[in-house]
Structure 1
Amino acid sequence: MASRQGGPGPDEGSGTGSTERRTAPHAATPDAGSRREPTTPPSRFGPDDSRARSAHRPDAGGSEPTARRRTPEDPPVRDPSLYALTDHFRERLEQPGRYVSTRAVSDAIRRGQLRWNRTDGWRFALVEDGIRFVVVVGDTETNSPVVVTGWTEIADRDRALEAGRFDPVDIDTIDVRTGLSEASAEPIPDRIRPRAITRPFVVGEHRLETEPGQPYVCCADCGCRFRSKDAITGRGCHGPSGR
């Protein structure tokens, strides 16, 4: 379900519960000429399809062609105020360690690169200060598009550390969370081992942290240790009694 209340507006700050740093500088809006044109996936109708032709055919009276209806393959609009936020995305705004905000969503929709993904559909991606903000949108062929989900990735670790928008714990958290999600069934001890996460981040029912040298993340509440996302989401957290 999607809610219209509090959708990303043009000048909003971080959303409620966002862990994005308040000291983050606002990126300047680039000139219109610097924007990349979206890459449109192949249309579901070929150029010779009768349905495609009929959408542009004038009527018998010689009037203007009927406007073609939008399809899911048409590039989504770049006006953040038109998008509602799904309940799934609202939950992410409130979870520690997500590093997504309504401001990041608005910036990505306005200025991010647009790509078509066969699994998710349309997604915007904007790199700022070494961090990639990814926003997946849906219902883009309608008058009520929605923000389905969003996440962060490390685009350039050195740049992210230099920029100071996020501290080293934030950056390690983004890196470990990305690794867990990229191959949810695969253990990633080598990716976890060099990271230091002292502020727990949430996956499933667990609040996770780790120390340098440990090949696992550990739940701060129940003490369970995990090396893959499937292991985390497949086990409930029962607090200290679960140790």
Structure 2
Amino acid sequence: MASKICCENFCVIKDPGVSFARMALENLDGRCNQLENMANFLLGVSLSAYSKLAISDAERVKRQSEALHTLETACKLSRMEDPVVLYHLSLEYAEQRKLDATLHYAKCIVKLEVGSNFKGWLLLSRVLSAQKRFLDAESIINAALDQTGKWDQGDLLRTKAKLQIAQGQLKSAIETYTQLLAVFQVHSKSFGSRNKLFKDKRDQIRNLEVEVWHDLAYVYISLSQRHDAEACLSKSRAIKLYSSTRCHAIG
């Protein structure tokens, strides 16, 4: 439990986050596969995050290698049946640019969850995109949109728009962004009358909306439609006063 809490706080991932996971493994000494699986998983997640703080390349590679090993161990202990473990293992392979392995585990996640979790679809699409298989990636996003409620479509639609941009389909991307902004309007009306329990979710959606306005502004800039781009940046400013991305776009 202590290690899990530390995993959720980047400031203490190294110490005591990694240390708690190691202590758990030492004390378990192979007596409980389920707890050993969880300890290996938390150690892998902690080491993966810790590797990003490494000063030298050698140190970073060493931590990444250990993270991958512990996540693979957790995957074996769970008999490839824990989608959360598979997801983080796939992410670690992606971090190390081992895309074939990433794709394999991403497919396993979607199959295991029967497409019920949009994160699995999103990961699979992004791996295909990294392999320049944009049409396949967009097909995956479309399949995910068919099986996902509007509440979870934000990241999916934004990814679809970016894939369309990568293929030079700027007008289609504008239509997708417009569809996404309409979803935000539905969110805004729904959360507007709710209590403070929904504050974090509302803030998350508003931050995503700001980034979408910036994305759309860049599309209009590439089309030399500067007035439309300025309108998008004004919309962004109305939501969030300070933004480095907006300053870059204005420049």
Scaled by the length of structure 1, what TM-score is found? 0.31
Structure with higher strand content = 1
Structure with higher helix content = 2
Q: Using CA pairs under 8 Å that are at least 6 residues apart, name the structure with larger relative contact order, 1 or 2.
A: 1
